[in-house]
Chain A
Amino acid sequence: MNEQLQAGLRAVKPLSPSLVTLLGVTAAEHTLQDVLKIIQLDAVLTARLLRAANSAAFRRTQEVDSLGMAVSLLGERYVVGMAMELSSDGFFDQPLAGYESAAGDLWRHSIKAALAGRLICRYARARVTVDSNQAFTGGILHDIGKAVLSAALDGAARDMALSVAGDQSSYLEAEHSRLGYDHCEAGVALAVQWRLPECYKAAIGFHHKPDQAPDGQKPLVFAVHLGDAFAMLSGAGTGSDSLLYPLHPDHALYFDLSPENVQRILLDLENEYAAITESIA
């Protein structure tokens, strides 16, 4: 493995054991009880979930005073999102200097990609099976490799963006030609280090080349690929590379994204993003 990549990986702290367990459990078939068993061991997460469930964004007549009620009300995607934010020790909030991206941009992009990926699953074609909760979590995780690459790309963002915009290639290729690896490959290396489930390794590794994903993971990877695109279109990019990735035409094999459906997803995305940020605040 490239030495620069190894150094980048060494700088990333491990995920908390409870988050690794939660991601593992929610990636496979599971019940609400399975999720509750993990969360109830984490007092900070439990408190934050109760506070969110009682926030204005989820107005209810009755106070939510149990973890079970809170998780039922908020939904699994929200629980996983909050667990990621709390347990990743500032990983998603760091500025990405190599992408000229400010603190918090990676988290905003990841949450929007996650919400969009989940919404896109509503428009899956009849024969396509895709788990919307996996699409949400895959969306949160898809760009973790950028945090590994960022330092190595410091100072290069403007040249790379100009070059990619000029020849309409892909920012991924620009990363590869500059460093010998790209943020998808770095993300997979970090996913191995974090012991993430296989479905998320696929989402991270192939989200810019979804046609090359293993067959069984293609619907999930295309959902994450599209979620990433919707996040960028809605103004939540991660700096210099925003919009500079080709949209793969094969998405139409898996999802029915007519112009009307695209607009509906963008509208629902803003509504859900506003609700989730209001409840976290």
Chain B
Amino acid sequence: MATVMIGIGGLGATNTPGDFVKTMALGSCVAVVFLVPKTRCIGMVHVALPDSALDAKKKQMVPGHFADSGVPALFNEICRVGGAVTMRDVYVKIAGGANMLGAATSFDIGRRNVLAVKKALWQMGSGPMAEDIEGFISRTVTVSVDAGTVELSSPAKGTWTI
């Protein structure tokens, strides 16, 4: 049993029984979770920014940093680890995209991240079946291979699942 830790811009997948995939303390970042019942594979990408046009080199080196490159990269990873599937086989859940209280529009990076993730999913013919997004809370996300659950926790709210 192992926990695959996903840092900012990181992505990973596993289909090993007993494994977890986890990312800590999302602020404005968004965790995109792929669950594939067919191959019992789970994966996550920790998206920090909406658009990879900001830095082509970073996109190449750390595709998970951006929504538009991270979401397709996660799909490639779950196919590599669990075997080939289509997006129809994938259940998508997303969490994060928080903001500061009273932040002006220019600062609303959390919402921009959420919208960019949804756009990237839509371009792949998919969308989230569950989400826990925006607001003013930090979220830690843990996904279990065995249970296929997406558990969220926050100092302000305790623990819950989506």
Residues of A bordering B, CB below 8 Å: 99-100, 157-158, 161-162, 165, 168, 170, 229, 232-237, 239-240, 242-249, 252, 257-259, 262-264, 266-267, 270-271
Contact status B156-A165, CB under 8 Å: yes
Residue of B nearest to A248 (CB): B102
Q: Does B109 contact A (CB under 8 A)?
A: yes
Question: Which residues of B line the A interface, CB within 8 A?
Answer: 8-9, 24-29, 48-51, 54-55, 58, 65, 98-107, 109-110, 112, 135-138, 155-158
Distance A239 CA – B103 CA, assembled complex (angstroms):
20
Assembly CA distance A248 to B156 (angstroms): 23
Measured CA separation A262–B27 after assembly (Å): 14
Main secondary structure on B side of the interface with A: loop
A-B contacts, CB under 8 A, total:
114
Given contacts A243-B101, A244-B101, A267-B58, contact A237 B28 (CB under 8 A): no
Q: Of B25, B55, B102, which one neighbours A235 at CB under 8 angstroms?
A: B25
Q: Which residues of A contact B50 (CB under 8 A)?
A: 263
Contacts of A240 in B (CB 8 A): 155-156
Tell whether, in the assembled complex, residue B155 and residue A161 are in contact, meaning their CB atoms are under 8 Å apart.
Answer: yes
Nearest CB on B from A32, distance (A) = 32
Chain B residues whose C-beta falls within 8 Å of the C-beta of A161 in the assembled complex: 137, 155-156
**CB-contact partner of B137 in A100, A243, A246, A270, under 8 A:** A243
A267 touches B49 (CB 8 A): yes
B9–A270 contact, CB under 8 A?
yes
Q: Are B28 and A234 in contact (CB under 8 A)?
A: yes
Q: Which residues of A contact B109 (CB under 8 A)?
A: 233, 259, 262-263, 266
Residue in A162, A229, A236, A266 whose beta carbon sits within 8 Å of that of B25 in the complex:
A236
The answer to whether B104 and A235 touch across the interface, beta carbons within 8 angstroms, is no
Q: Is B136's CB under 8 angstroms from A235's CB?
A: no
